[in-house]
Chain A
């Protein structure tokens, strides 16, 4: 039950695209199409941004997208906006359990 691996930080200018990777194993990310992504602003509760690898819940802007290849999932934010500056966490089903990623701080320059 080790945490999934994410880069500590990524940054981009407004309007640019950034991608956050989330690397696990065949027992979690690679074994199931149940990766979700959460956005967390300082002092706030997490917010679901992507479910089932690439599905956007109602109300989430379409500049957020998800994908997966093998044991690595990715979250891409296109057309970066100031309000996207936050921490982002991936989470994967791991066969009755769940495991979060280490978290990535997105900075808008």
Chain B
């Protein structure tokens, strides 16, 4: 079964850091781009970042550029999102998603990040 499972969410103070993980199974992870998307409470989806197969190409939305870093470990079939300098507005459910061509065809169940003092 093709599956993505996120972990690492939690409560963090403003200015703090958190590292999200996404474990993939059921497909050849190393051959596909991966992405992170978030959804603030009661709000819409926001694409955050993606990364190519070997990690040599990374793209970020302006709102997280310089604060968030996407990375992957193909040996562990995992993609990560390092989040630094967190703000209240980063509170959201964070999803990892598999990229197939120009769309996201497999999604994880999401992990919740709450930024609050």
A positions within 8 Å CB-CB of B: 1, 3, 32, 34, 36, 38, 40, 45-48, 51-52, 57, 89, 91, 93, 96-103
- Cross-chain contact A97 with B59 (CB below 8 angstroms): yes
Encoded as 1 (CB less than 8 Å from any A CB) or 0, chain B from 24 to 41 comes to: 000000000001010000
The answer to whether A99 and B47 have CB atoms under 8 Å apart is yes
Residues of B within 8 A of A57 (CB): 105
Q: List 18 A-B contacts (CB under 8 A).
A: A1-B61, A32-B102, A38-B104, A40-B45, A45-B109, A46-B37, A46-B97, A46-B104, A48-B105, A51-B105, A57-B105, A91-B103, A91-B104, A97-B61, A98-B50, A99-B47, A100-B37, A103-B45
**Is the Cβ of A103 less than 8 Å from the Cβ of B44?**
yes
Please report the C-alpha to C-alpha distance between residue A3 and residue B23 in the assembled complex, in whole angstroms.
Answer: 29
State the 3 A-B residue pairs at the shortest beta-carbon distance, nearest first.
A34-B102, A36-B103, A51-B103
Nearest CB in chain B to that of A95: its residue? B59
Residue of B nearest to A33 (CB): B102
